[in-house]
Amino acid sequence: MADTVKIVSPIDGRVYAERAIATATEIETAVAKTRRAREVWNELTVKERAKFLEHFVDALIGKNDEIVPELAWQMGRPVRFGGEKRGVEERARHMIAIAEESLKPSMRPAKDGFERWIAREALGNVMVIAPWNYPFLTAVNSIVPALMAGNAVILKHASQTLLVGERFAEAFKAAGLPDGLFQNLVLNHADTEKLIGSGQIDHINFTGSVEGGRRIEKAAAGTFATLGLELGGKDPAYVRADANVAYAAENLVDGSFFNSGQSCCGVERIYVHAEVYDQFIEGFVEQSKGWKLGNPLDADTVVGPMATPRFADLVRGQTLEALRKGATALLNTKHDLDEEGSPYLAPEVLVNVNHQMAVMREESFGPVVGIMKVADDAEAITLMNDSPYGLSASIWTEDLDAAAKVGAKVETGTVYANRCDYLDPALVWTGVKDTGKGGALSEIGYQNLTQPKSYHLRKL
C-alpha cells in the first residue's frame, strides 16, 4: 500500500483528507513533463503568457467560496476573514502587470560598431515549497512570476494544507496552461531533498523554519541551484512618544493576533516609549478583549485554533516560562497545563517581560505578545535588533522622517510606519540574519527567478 499524508483538522482532530505520496516513477515523469512544457511555453511572448496567468487568477478566485471553509478545516483560520482572495489577486495581478517591463532587455549605452544588451532568461525548473500558515499567498509569490518569466514550476505544499496545491492545479488546468508546466506533487521530506539534490531543479523557493532552510541548503549543495529562503521571524514594533496611541493599539492587536498569530510578519514583541506606555497598554488590552477564541466555521469567531496542538503547546510553554520569571498576564488569569494538547489557544498579552524570556527572543508563531517599556529611540533600536531574525519591523509615530531614521538602524528586511503585517507586491519581500536570503515580488523577484545573459554584437 502506498504511503500517504493525512491532514488532521485542528477543528476536531479528525482526518480531513488523505493523499498518496508520489512514487519515484511519478516524480521522474513530472520532471520530464516540465522539460517538454518549457519548450512550448518559451515560444510565447510575455504578453501571451500573461493571458494564461490572468485566466488562472480568475479561475482561482472563482473558487473562493469553496476554498474558505476548506482552509478552516485544514489550518484553522476563521471563515469570517474570507480566505486569501484579496492578497492573492493583488500580488498575482501586480506581478503579471510588471512582467514585461521587468523582463525586457536592458540596453547598454551606444558604442560605435556594436549592439549590446543584457537579457533575462528563465532558470528552468523552479521548485516552490510552500507553508501552511498562508498557503495561497506564500505560494503565489513565486509561482506566478516564475511562470511569467518562462520557468516551469513544481509545487510541494505543506502536509497540513495539501488541498491548496490541488486548487492551484485545478485553476491552471482551467486556464489552459501547457500540460506539465505546473506540477503539484505530494512529497515526503526524503523525496523532496532527493529531488532538490538531483540536479534537475534550478531554483528552490522555501518558506518555513530555520532548520528546514538549513536542510534545503544541504540538499542543494553542489547543484548550483539558486535559493530563496524565508525562514523564522520575531517581528518587533516600536511605539514612539509622538504616536497616535489609539490607532497604534488597534492595529497592533490585529498585527499580533490575526491568524492566531501564525503570520510570517506578525508582531511578536512591542516596545513602547515610557511617556505613552500606560495609555498604550490600556488601549491594547481593551482592543484585545474583542478577539474571542472559537470554532473557525462560526461566522462570529475571530480567533480560530492553531494549525496543530504541537504549535499551541510551544506557545503555552513560552508563556508559562515568562510567568515563572516574573511576567504578568493581562488577558487570561488561568495558566496551567490542563489545556496541553489542544490547538485552541486564546490570545495573551504579557508585560513585565525582558529579553531573558523566550517569548521575547524566540519565535512564538502564536497568539501571544510581550510588551516592554523603553526610554527612547536608542533603547528601542537595541532591543529590536536583539534577535536572530529580521523580516519586518514597524514604527508608530507622527514623524515619518524619524521613522525612516529609526528604520535605517533596525536590522530587518522591511520597515513599516504606522502599519504592520502587510506585504506590498511593489516592494521586495526579503529578510536578514536567520530570516533567510533572496527576495520575492517586485522587479527584484523577477531578477531572482531569471538569469542574466549578455549580448555583445559587432557590426561588420
Q: Which three cell numbers stand for residue 164?
A: 491548496
Answer yes or no: are the C-beta atoms of 429 and 230 closer than 8 Å. yes
**Of the candidates 285, 283, 337, 287, the residue with the CA atom closest to the CA atom of residue 312:** 337
Distance set, CA 375 to CA 69, 278, 406, 410 (Å):
46, 13, 14, 17
**Of the candidates 21, 22, 38, 57, the residue with the CA atom closest to the CA atom of residue 182:** 38
Residue 308 burial (CB < 10 Å; 0-12/13-18/19+)? middle
Which backbone phi and psi does 144 adopt, to 5 degrees? -65, -50
Distance set, CA 397 to CA 213, 247, 273, 392, 441 (Å):
35, 10, 11, 16, 27
Answer yes or no: are the C-beta atoms of 82 and 424 closer than 8 Å. no
Match 490542563 to its residue by C-alpha cell.
338
398 labelled catalytic: no
Point out the catalytic residue in the list 70, 84, 230, 363: 230
Could you tell me where the beta strands, DSSP code E, fall in 15-143? 15-20, 106-107, 114-122, 125-130
Q: How far apart are CA 81 and CA 95, in angstroms?
A: 24
Task: Find the Cα–Cα–Cα–Cα dihedral 317, 318, 320, 321, rounded to 10°.
Answer: 110
Helices (H), 175-276: 189-196, 210-220, 245-257
Point out the catalytic residue in the list 84, 264, 265, 268: 264
Distance set, CA 310 to CA 59, 130, 305, 318, 358 (Å):
35, 19, 12, 13, 17
Residue 418 burial (CB < 10 Å; 0-12/13-18/19+)? middle
230 labelled catalytic: yes
The residues carrying an active-site annotation are 230, 264
